[in-house]
Amino acid sequence: MMRKLTRTIHILAVCIFVGSIPAHIVLGQLANSHLIGGGTMETFAAYQQAKYGLTIGLTTAGIILTLLSGVALVIRRKPLLRQNWLRAKLCVVAAIAINGAAVLTPLAEQMRDLAVAAVETGALDAAFHAAENTEAIAGAINLALIVVAIALAVFKPQLRIRAEAA
């Protein structure tokens, strides 16, 4: 029963994490469209604040819960760790978490702060666009890693390590 509960939590956590990403993208596009369409800097900043709140509230919380529930599942079935596909998946998930914590979350905070500062100055600092470009690259990397993690979990490839010929 406990394993089923942990698996349910794990699946929900993955859904929260992965499901928050399209909302994050849509909020960013709405903010940009609003600004391009002659909207106010206040509304642009509000979109960026919502995007940052989403990053902390759902994306970060989702990945943390995914990691914790995933570790709990592995601890309960240690022989699974002998499976190379699972080891590879754990490495990929670690890379996703590191990219999110070290790159994407600080960028979301920086972009929010720059958008809020733009309300006072009336113009976006060039650093905003640089951060936005970096976010696009790091976000695409995370999406690719997410696809790899899902593929590993679904297909469970053998990933045998070949012994070197003597």
Domain ranges of the chain: 2-155
User: What value, to the nearest 5°, has the Cα angle with vertex 110 and ends 67 and 65?
Assistant: 10
Q: Write the pLDDT tens digit of every residue in 49-60.
A: 999 999 999 999
Going by pLDDT thresholds of 50, 70 and 90, the confidence category of residue 162 is low
Q: Is 90 exceeded by the pLDDT of residue 161?
A: no
Q: What is the pLDDT of residue 14?
A: 96
Q: Is 80 exceeded by the pLDDT of residue 104?
A: yes
Place of tokens 């990403």: 21
Q: What is the pLDDT of residue 78?
A: 85
pTM higher than the cut 0.85 = yes
Going by pLDDT thresholds of 50, 70 and 90, the confidence category of residue 81 is confident
Which contacts of 27-31 are long-range, i.e. CB under 8 A and separated by 24 or more positions? Answer: 27/51, 27/54, 28/132, 28/135, 31/115
Q: How many angstroms separate the CA atoms of 52 and 106, rounded?
A: 10
